[in-house]
Amino acid sequence: MINFQAVSKKYNSHEALSDVSLEIPDSEFVFLVGPTGAGKSTLLKLIIREELPSAGRVFVGSLEVNKLSSSQVPHLRRRVGTVFQDFKLLPQRTVFENVAFPLEILGLDDDEIESVTKDTLALVDLEKLANQFPGQISGGEAQRTAIARAMVLRPEVILADEPTGNLDAGSAWEVMQLLDRLNSLGTTVIMATHNMDISSSLPHRTLEIQKGRLVHDSKPKGTKSPAVKKKNA
Amino acid sequence: MKNLQRLVKISAQRITRNPYHALAAFLVMFFTFFVVGAFILVSFGSNVLLRYFESRPAVTAFLKDGTTTDKVKSIQDTLVKTQVVSKTRYVSKEEALKIYKERNKDQPLLSEFVTADVLPASIEVSTYKIDDLSKVAGILQKNSDVEEVVFQQNIIETLSSWTRALRNIGGGVVVFLLVTSFLTTLIVVGLNISIHRDEIEIMRLVGATANYIRTPFILEGIFYGAVSAAVATSVLWAIIAWFSPALQRIFSGIPLFPVNSSVFGYLLLFEVVAGIAVGVIGSFVATRKYLTV
């Protein structure tokens, strides 16, 4: 469970988040929507302790994120996978090596790394591209590689910050379906997007942020995915 | 262990992908450790030279022909009573001839016409302190059986002052070069941190610890220091080995050349350890200054 208790974040005089309280239960899929600059990315950064709140408390499970020592932060980040709009893949590493990277950092042996990485690539349907470099694959495939890397440690939570922002409509829909599938396997997914079409494509809870304030928390409604799919296709 | 192998691999990749940075760091550190090694060897050599001269009889009193052994004994007793003399040795005419022949064994013509009668007997005197040489020389000069007194106070004093000056200048130059090497390592590792900031960011996001992120940069510093120090010492070794025969002729009789290989062994060990220390400190400071983890 992720829990924000009266969280504010200020950058000098600018208030990026203001008195945000929310609760996201395990295995939930949540859209975080709002215009660019509303505070969505700040909220995600607070979860992985890229930023510290100016006020309030942030919990991931039983961990109070803002009270973690710097040596505990890597352990938090192994529990929370991250996916970004610009993929953040290492260009000189193959798809397989990019996905295997977190496992290498954990110090697993080569056989285990190979086995887990292959399983994860199969999960995102990228086995055939395992030996390609990021420069040789499409945007959608690059984002699926990034999702595979985020998933390889089997985290409890995946944070996706505008993961479809750089993708064409078809690839965006594939990424959405993939995130939805990972969620159905029990992973909590929090996806930030400014694209309302994307957020309405799947029947999930939506948190709307405007000027740093949580202004709307809507429960799942009916899906619009076919329309989005048709429109995007 | 597995992680260390992976970190070494990451470090090696970063070095080979930025060969000009690596070359710059290597050359500066190579020059530093070459000069450091040279100063150490020169300092070591000047010590040997100084010890050699100090161990030689510092005052030699040539005796008049016909000086009896009783008179020689009396002169020696007089010197010992001064308590500043560490050793006296009587060299008879026959011994003087033997020494002369030994020194000129390569030039038999010089020895051919020399007999023991031509060479004077002498008393060689060593003192505990160089300052007492003139006192001893004065006593000997007053003795009626002494023909001539020769003493080498000036040589030793000059050599001493040269050694001191060399150490001071050398120390200054070495400190300057070590600081330069430290700063070069800091800059090169800092540049590499800047080049790899995307990779570092990804490492952080996927849960790499601070040590995991920092270690490849520290290994990079160790590599520059250890390799450049080892190469510098080896080059120095080769140069001295090459010039040893010529130097041996110049410093004939002084046990300087060829330099014992154990000296180079110790020098190599010292330089590599010093190189690693400079590399570690430089890269550590760079990671603290430029790397946010």
**What is the secondary structure of A13-28 as a DSSP string?**
TEEEEEEEEEEE-TT-
Higher pLDDT, B129 or A44: A44
Tell if the CB–CB gap between A74 and B202 is shorter than 8 Å: no
Q: Which domain holds residue A206?
A: 2-88+155-218
Residue A231 lies in a domain: no
> How many domains does one find in chain A?
1
Of B2, B17, B205, the CB nearest to A107: B2
Cα distances (Å, whole numbers) of residue B278 to B35, B215, B266, B272, B289 = 15, 16, 18, 10, 16
Largest CA distance in chain A: 51
Q: How far apart are the first and last CA of chain A?
A: 36
Among A3-7, A27-31, A165-169, B268-272, name the one with the lowest average pLDDT: A165-169
The pLDDT of residue A181 is above 50: yes
Distance between CA atoms of residues B112 and B121, nearest Å: 19
Percent over 70 (pLDDT), chain A: 94
pLDDT of residue B245: 82
Q: What is the pLDDT of residue A219?
A: 77
Chain A (207-226) residues lying within 8 Å, Cβ to Cβ, of chain B: none
Identify the residue among B2, B198, B202, B213 best suited for mutation to test binding to A, counting A beta carbons within 10 A and taking the highest.
B202
What ipTM goes with this model? 0.81
What backbone torsions phi and psi does residue A60 show, to the nearest 5 degrees? -120, 105
Tell me, what CATH number does A200's domain have?
Answer: 3.40.50.300
**A232: pLDDT confidence band, cut at 50, 70 and 90?**
very low
Contact B208 A48 (CB under 8 A): no
Residue B291: which pLDDT band, with cuts at 50, 70 and 90? Answer: confident
pLDDT score, position B56? 67
The dihedral built from the CA positions of residue B239, B243, B245 and B250, taken in this order, carries a sign that is negative
Is A127 part of a structural domain of the chain?
no
Query: Closest residue of A to B9, CA-based?
Result: A104
| B107 has a pLDDT exceeding 60 | yes
For range B191-211, the mean pLDDT = 88
**Do B41 and B265 meet the contact criterion of CB atoms below 8 Å apart?**
no
Look up the CATH number of domain B59-151: 3.30.70.3040
pLDDT in tens, A219-229: 775 544 433 34
Inside any domain, residue A166: yes
List, as one string, the DSSP characters of B239-277. Answer: HHHHHHHHHHHHTTTSTTSSPPHHHHHHHHHHHHHHHHH
- pLDDT over 50 at B186, yes or no: yes
The pLDDT assigned to A92 comes to 87
CB contact under 8 A, A107 and B199: no
Collect all residues from B whose CB is shorter than 8 A from any CB in A. 2-3, 6, 13, 17, 198-199, 201-210, 212, 293
Percent over 90 (pLDDT), chain B: 16
Question: For residue B75, how many other CB atoms are within 10 A of its CB?
Answer: 22
Which of these ranges, A39-53, B157-171, B187-201, has the smallest mean pLDDT?
B157-171
pLDDT digits (tens, 9 = 90+) for A85-101: 889 999 889 999 999 99
A134, part of any domain:
no
Q: Which of A111-125, B50-64, B147-161 has the highest mean pLDDT?
A: A111-125
Looking up tokens 């090169």 gives B188
Tell me the average pLDDT across A69-88. 91
Give the number of A-B residue pairs with CB atoms closer than 8 Å. 48
Residue ranges, CATH 3.30.70.3040, chain B: 59-151
Which residue from B minimizes the CA distance to A47? B205
What's the rounded mean pLDDT across residues B115-136? Answer: 82
Specify which of A132-136, B43-47, B153-157, B284-288 reaches the highest per-range mean pLDDT. A132-136
Q: Beta-carbon neighbour count of residue B92 at 10 Å?
A: 15
Contact B205 A104 (CB under 8 A): no
Distance, in Å, from the CA atom of A121 to the CA atom of A151, rounded to the nearest integer, reads 10
Separation CA B149–CA B137 (nearest Å): 6
The rounded mean pLDDT for chain B is 85
| Partner-chain contact B205 A90, CB within 8 Å | no
C-beta of residue B198 within 8 angstroms of C-beta of residue B205: no
A106 touches chain B (CB under 8 A): yes
Give the minimum alpha-carbon distance from A219 to chain B in angstroms, rounded to a whole number.
30
Q: Which of residues 11-70 of A touch B (CB under 8 A)?
A: 48, 70
